[in-house]
């Protein structure tokens, strides 16, 4: 991820997904509302990734 800038949106989504998953494991993200938002965001990214792969 750090080797070069992302060239496609799918690459950006994978980077954001990685960061969200890491953040979700921190004490700051322990609130259930934050966990719910993270799960929704990751779900949205997954749907967009699958849609992008079908193109």
Give the 3-state secondary structure of the chain. CCCCCCCCHHHHHHHHHHHHHHHHCCHHHCCHHHHHHHHHHHHHHHHHHHHHHHC
pLDDT for res 1: 64
List the Cα angle 24/9/54 in 5-degree steps. 105
- Better-predicted residue by pLDDT, 53 or 38: 38
pLDDT at 4: 78
pLDDT computed for residue 52 by the predictor: 81
pLDDT value for 33: 96
Query: What is the pTM for the complete model shown?
Result: 0.76
pLDDT digits (tens, 9 = 90+) for 2-51: 677 878 888 888 899 999 999 999 999 999 999 999 999 999 989 988 88
């Amino acid at each position: 991820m750090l080797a070069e800038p992302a060239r496609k949106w799918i690459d950006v989504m994978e980077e954001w997904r990685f960061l969200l998953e890491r953040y979700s494991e921190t004490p700051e993200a322990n609130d259930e509302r934050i966990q719910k938002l993270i799960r929704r965001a990751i779900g949205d990214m997954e749907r967009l990734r699958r849609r992008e792969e079908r193109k």
